[in-house]
Structure 1
Amino acid sequence: MSNSGWISCRQVLNIMMIFGFMLNYALRVNLTIAIVEMVMPNATGGVVETINENVTTTTTLAPEMTSELAQIEVANRFDWNEHQKQLILGSFFWGYVLTELPGGRLAELIGGHRVFGHSMFWASVITLITPVTAHMGYVAMVILRAVLGFMLGASWPSIVPMAAVWVRPNDRSKFMSNMMASALGAALTMPICGYFISWFGWESVFYLTGGIGILWSICWFLFIFESPAKHPRISEEERKEIEDAIGSSTSKKKPTYVPWKSILTSPCVYAIILVHGASVFGYFLVVNQLPGYMKSILHYDIKSNGLLSSLPYFGKYFMSVAASHFADYLRQAGKISTTVARKSFTTFAVGTPGLFFILLIFFGHDRTWAIAIFTIALTLNGAVTAGYLGNGLDIAPNFSGTIFGMANTLSSFGGFVSAWMVGVLTYENNTYGQWQIIFGIVAASYIFGSLAFLTMGTGELQPWNNPPERNGVPLQEMRVAEEGVPLQANNINNAHK
């Protein structure tokens, strides 16, 4: 497909990325809604707090199943307590943390196209075998989820190096908003899974998401290529437009030398790492815990749970698109600098949700207030696409995968810690009072992250982005030497078809 046709190669990449990140989160959040129906209703034990019109009563869970739950065979449910359930949810991050940094660096060396595609394909295969694994016991599920995390851990950092060679600098906020399609994937997965569970049982959600993931992976390898220079169907005009806009900030030659000392002593790198860790800590807590909170504290049934749990993700995606377009417009028009754009949108997207989580401490027991606050907080967080999320491309596009991998490594620990924290605080005491503590911790995390980026962040290209290779020749000079390389013959021929 080329510019001479009806759709450009960049548009195909954008479309595939949107669906890819939708599936990326569908593969990880399907369990958060399914596990509500996978566990025996009296397995978690302990105390449940019921709140009705400002009257709070505390009762012990009855051993009998309700009529709704009794429709599902007991043999298809598992006797996992709250601690085991949170261990299963949190084990995803054990594997996830291992491949973040290696995945980003591997994408810089062999290409994000291959890393992202294989990450999604094998994660889809693992998803398909989840129902069988669940019947082997919770330890088997812990191992399976860790392996799933290992496969998906490389997916996010692998895309950033692709953006460095495919996307013009002033369009990168919009491109990064494609990654927020993950929120849209979570938004659609929640209600769809809720209905599929009620119709076909909890196993159906894993067959559905895993099957679609495999189909997407096949399409990715057929239509997406590592760079404009390697695309067999790109037009001469589109390739030239992309490469001229990118210029020499990104080298065509894969950097074999990483300036670790410069990276590890750069305040702007730590600004990205800290704010990303704080932001994702809160986001993962909502992704993994909102369905359980809505059932145990707000007492929603499975279908209502799935639908209402999806609202914050719809808001986050649409905010990410709107904010990224607005930020790129302001930068292109010269109204604000890249640094001002990144700091302003990051403060708005990360600091403000922290204030809303403070409100949850006081109003989180009320159904209407809780849903409204969760939705607004996560909606505002979508503006990170115009803030820190693409900041690695601003400061060092040649090492954007490495930087993103470092940031996502910390956030992966945050994802596990959030699940572990909820398990510890709510085990045998799943009350609103315990959740008030959780909301306070998340609020502090958000505010700390936004302040870290506000004080240390920048949008300026760093001098260590073009370090000398081991042979002493700077990457930038190699880039200039390669500018005269002609387009591949098949590219030129395709352009005139």
Structure 2
Amino acid sequence: MSNTEGGGIQRIRNALSCRQVLNLLTMLGFMLNYALRVNLTIAIVDMVRPNVTETNSTSVVNGTNSTSSGSLSPDGVDVYEERFPWDSYQTNFVLGCFFWGYILTELPGGRLAELIGGRRVFGHSMLWASLLTLITPMAAHINYVVLIIVRVVLGFMLGASWPAIHPVAAVWIPPMERSKFMSNMMASSLGAAITMPVCGYLISVAGWASVFYLTGAVGLLWSICWFTFVYETPATHPRITAEERREIEEAIGTSTSKKRPSHVPWGDLLCSPAVWAIIICHGLAVFGFFTVVNQLPTFMSQILHFKIKENGLFSSLPYLGKYLMAVASSYLADYLRQKGTLGTTATRKVFTAFALVIPGLLMIVQVYLGYDATWSVTIFSLALFFHGAVTAGYLGNGLDIAPNFSGTIFGLANTLSSFGGFLSTWMVGALTYHDKSFHQWQIVFWILAATYIAGALVFVAIGSGELQPWNNPPERKKISDVTQEEGVPLKNEK
């Protein structure tokens, strides 16, 4: 590399603070996190053989009938790709099995990030998930069961990524800036908004397998950047300025221990109403969100009869709105807290209620107007737009009440929500297995309305933004320390 090129890179590095680099890569990381997850929700519409009779050739692959179908690309080239004879139950099973692995690493991932650092846990979860995404088409061609195994392991890897980012924020982000940082998690919605139309276009020109190759490759590139430019703490970062490091460490103070606590005060944590407010609210809210994420493309295909490219385009609109609201509400929340207009507790409750009650009411509207394509797209877009305000509400609340154990708290909350994710796919599959009418989807919308509103009520009733006394538990003494204090000689002492 020439001196000119090296100087140019150095100038770019100097133009961004370490926190800005962290924010940028975290935002891109969560975009890719959902791209690796939702690529299947759009691809599966084209992967599965339609129920109608088509003029396709049928072959036998691994003992099951598969269909080789052709689509015409804009260049006039036929794209032939295998399609699979999965029914509604099997299709939803493939979508839902992701959560089998996802649920196993939520709590361990959060605690592991508290012990060894969120940078390593978040980075490795994304790296291995990207590699698994690249082999997903091969797994589908080999066997239905092999595809399920790959999706379960993919969920296992990505399950650790969400709670891992809380310990990163605990050591890098000052308390009054954490709402803005947590809005980076909602970049997952932006990732979905981009992935949906891109997937739709790729499928039409290169077949459904292309979406897995693209998202997997981009994920690998991001992983390289993450491990190159992000460090565990400000103290270990080689490029951070003394001014930025001092600013971060003084703002965080003693709320986050420099020495990571060796044990979790489980008794105090599990008896805390503030913790249960986060867990219950998150579980109910994400149940609704996962239902939309996994089922919106299917609903648009079955009920609104969109073509695959239209499906991807219109499916992306709600996610884009959610991200815009997440950023706007987070900046507003931090501004109100910095000015003293609202305390932390009031801020979290107000924004949580706003983010969940309005989508709940909109799901009721969807029951009556969702059969119309224009109304349906509008309602879903508005519902997820308002839901984006959770970043200023309960989503980062664990950092308020116990930053030292924010990964563990979010891991607990996301474990419950993972049960909800699998339950949502099972629920839709069961309700639409024999009857795919709009009437069956109305039942789904009623359930979503109830869960959204219930989540808001729970958090408003028992949520808190106050730092909990058990955030800094006393370290457990080793046996050697106790014996020395009591004057008892150690085994090897003479």
- The two structures have a TM-score, normalised by structure 1, of 0.89
- Preserved contact between residue 37 and residue 202 of structure 1 (Cα < 8 Å): yes
Opposite residue 406 of structure 1, the aligned amino acid is L
**Number of aligned positions between the proteins:** 451
Opposite residue 408 of structure 1, the aligned amino acid is N
* TM-aligned CA deviation for residue 244 of structure 1: 0.3
* TM-aligned CA deviation for residue 360 of structure 1: 0.9
The aligned residue for residue 81 of structure 1 is 87
SS of structure 2 residue aligned to 1:261: helix
The aligned residue for residue 57 of structure 1 is none
Match of 1:8 among 2, 17, 27: 17
SS of structure 1 residue aligned to 2:396: helix
Q: Which protein, 1 or 2, shows the higher relative CO under an 8 Å CA cutoff with sep ≥ 6?
A: 1
- Preserved contact between residue 353 and residue 456 of structure 2 (Cα < 8 Å): yes
Q: 1:398-413 residue pairs with structure 2 within 5 A? A: 398-413=404-419
Cα distance per residue 1:260-314 (max 9 Å; x no partner) = 0001111110100011111111111111110111011000000111000000000
* TM-aligned CA deviation for residue 2 of structure 1: 10
The aligned residue for residue 108 of structure 1 is 114
- Preserved contact between residue 284 and residue 417 of structure 2 (Cα < 8 Å): yes
The aligned residue for residue 30 of structure 1 is 39
* TM-aligned CA deviation for residue 350 of structure 1: 1.1
* TM-aligned CA deviation for residue 139 of structure 1: 1.6
* TM-aligned CA deviation for residue 73 of structure 1: 6.8
SS of structure 2 residue aligned to 1:76: strand
- Preserved contact between residue 2 and residue 235 of structure 1 (Cα < 8 Å): no
- Taking a change above 3 Å as real, the CA distance of residues 237 and 424 of structure 1, as seen in their structure-2 partners, is same
Asked if residue 64 in structure 1 is aligned to residue 64 in structure 2, the reply is no
- Preserved contact between residue 351 and residue 392 of structure 2 (Cα < 8 Å): yes
The aligned residue for residue 340 of structure 1 is 346
* TM-aligned CA deviation for residue 352 of structure 1: 1.3
- Taking a change above 3 Å as real, the CA distance of residues 65 and 11 of structure 1, as seen in their structure-2 partners, is farther
Match of 1:355 among 354, 361, 364: 361
The aligned residue for residue 55 of structure 1 is none
* TM-aligned CA deviation for residue 320 of structure 1: 0.2
* TM-aligned CA deviation for residue 471 of structure 1: 2.3
Opposite residue 378 of structure 1, the aligned amino acid is L
- Preserved contact between residue 3 and residue 237 of structure 1 (Cα < 8 Å): no
Asked if residue 418 in structure 1 is aligned to residue 424 in structure 2, the reply is yes
* TM-aligned CA deviation for residue 22 of structure 1: 0.3
The aligned residue for residue 458 of structure 1 is 464
Alpha-carbon separation, structure 2, partners of 1:372 and 1:3:
41
The aligned residue for residue 243 of structure 1 is 249
Alpha-carbon separation, structure 1, partners of 2:412 and 2:101:
15
Q: 1:68-217 residue pairs with structure 2 within 5 A? A: 70-71=70-71, 76-217=82-223
Alpha-carbon separation, structure 1, partners of 2:151 and 2:107:
19
Asked if residue 41 in structure 1 is aligned to residue 50 in structure 2, the reply is yes
The aligned residue for residue 26 of structure 2 is 17
The aligned residue for residue 486 of structure 1 is none
Asked if residue 443 in structure 1 is aligned to residue 449 in structure 2, the reply is yes
* TM-aligned CA deviation for residue 430 of structure 1: 1.1
Alpha-carbon separation, structure 2, partners of 1:287 and 1:417:
13
Opposite residue 30 of structure 1, the aligned amino acid is N
RMSD (Å), alpha carbons: 1.5
Alpha-carbon separation, structure 1, partners of 2:228 and 2:389:
32
Alpha-carbon separation, structure 2, partners of 1:84 and 1:137:
13
Runs of 4+ in 1 over 3 A off after TM superposition: 1-4, 72-75
User: What is the aligned-residue identity percentage?
Assistant: 65
Alpha-carbon separation, structure 2, partners of 1:232 and 1:436:
56
- Preserved contact between residue 80 and residue 207 of structure 2 (Cα < 8 Å): no
- Taking a change above 3 Å as real, the CA distance of residues 298 and 124 of structure 1, as seen in their structure-2 partners, is same
The aligned residue for residue 285 of structure 2 is 279
Alpha-carbon separation, structure 2, partners of 1:467 and 1:286:
40
The aligned residue for residue 75 of structure 2 is none
Alpha-carbon separation, structure 2, partners of 1:446 and 1:467:
35
The aligned residue for residue 334 of structure 2 is 328
* TM-aligned CA deviation for residue 136 of structure 1: 1.9
Q: Which residues of structure 1 form unaligned runs of 5+?
A: 43-61, 473-497
Alpha-carbon separation, structure 2, partners of 1:2 and 1:172:
28
Q: Which moved more, 1:295-304 or 1:463-472?
A: 463-472
Q: Which moved more, 1:70-79 or 1:164-173?
A: 70-79
SS of structure 2 residue aligned to 1:79: coil
Alpha-carbon separation, structure 1, partners of 2:189 and 2:313:
14
- The two structures have a TM-score, normalised by structure 2, of 0.90
Alpha-carbon separation, structure 2, partners of 1:263 and 1:2:
46
Alpha-carbon separation, structure 2, partners of 1:452 and 1:65:
54
- Preserved contact between residue 70 and residue 81 of structure 2 (Cα < 8 Å): no
Match of 2:276 among 258, 270, 273: 270
Q: Which moved more, 1:100-109 or 1:277-286?
A: 277-286
Alpha-carbon separation, structure 1, partners of 2:143 and 2:432:
22
Alpha-carbon separation, structure 2, partners of 1:301 and 1:80:
19
Cα distance per residue 1:30-69 (max 9 Å; x no partner) = 0000000000011xxxxxxxxxxxxxxxxxxx32369xx7
* TM-aligned CA deviation for residue 351 of structure 1: 1.6
Alpha-carbon separation, structure 2, partners of 1:64 and 1:438:
31
Alpha-carbon separation, structure 2, partners of 1:457 and 1:370:
33
SS of structure 2 residue aligned to 1:388: coil
The aligned residue for residue 225 of structure 1 is 231
* TM-aligned CA deviation for residue 75 of structure 1: 5.7
Alpha-carbon separation, structure 2, partners of 1:88 and 1:2:
47
Alpha-carbon separation, structure 2, partners of 1:254 and 1:330:
31
Alpha-carbon separation, structure 2, partners of 1:231 and 1:250:
18
* TM-aligned CA deviation for residue 142 of structure 1: 1.3
